């Protein structure tokens, strides 16, 4: 049985760490992410993909904060 792993402030993370966290969740571990987890790469550059990037499938949640503000911005919950 895998314990709960809290990841409250993982703003900057390498792809390798995100892959490890994803594997942990896929193996049955309980992964609790905080806001803006996996937002930036190891050089603190904002990731261009939908957030939380490589953890989106494991988290079963995602968001994209970039949009054209001149057009209506739909809000979708999955």
Domain ranges of the chain: 8-59
Q: Which residues of the chain have pLDDT under 50?
A: none
Say what the pLDDT of residue 49 is.
86
Helices in the chain by DSSP H: which ranges?
15-26, 56-59
Say what the pLDDT of residue 67 is.
58
pTM recorded for the entire structure: 0.75
CA 37 to each of CA 13, 49, 56: distance values in angstroms, whole numbers, following the listed order: 8, 13, 10
Say what the pLDDT of residue 68 is.
58
Q: Percent of the chain having pLDDT more than 70?
A: 91
Query: Which residue, among 36, 39, 10, 35, has the nearest Cα to 24 in the 3D structure?
Result: 10
Residue 39 CB neighbours (<10 A)? 18
């Amino acid at each position: 049985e895998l314990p709960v792993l809290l990841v409250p402030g993982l703003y900057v993370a390498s792809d390798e760490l995100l892959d490890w966290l994803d594997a942990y969740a896929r193996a049955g571990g309980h992964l609790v992410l905080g806001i803006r987890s996996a937002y930036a790469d190891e050089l603190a550059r904002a990731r261009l993909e939908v957030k939380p990037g490589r953890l989106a499938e494991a988290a079963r949640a995602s968001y994209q904060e970039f949009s054209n503000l001149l057009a209506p911005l739909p809000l979708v919950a999955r």
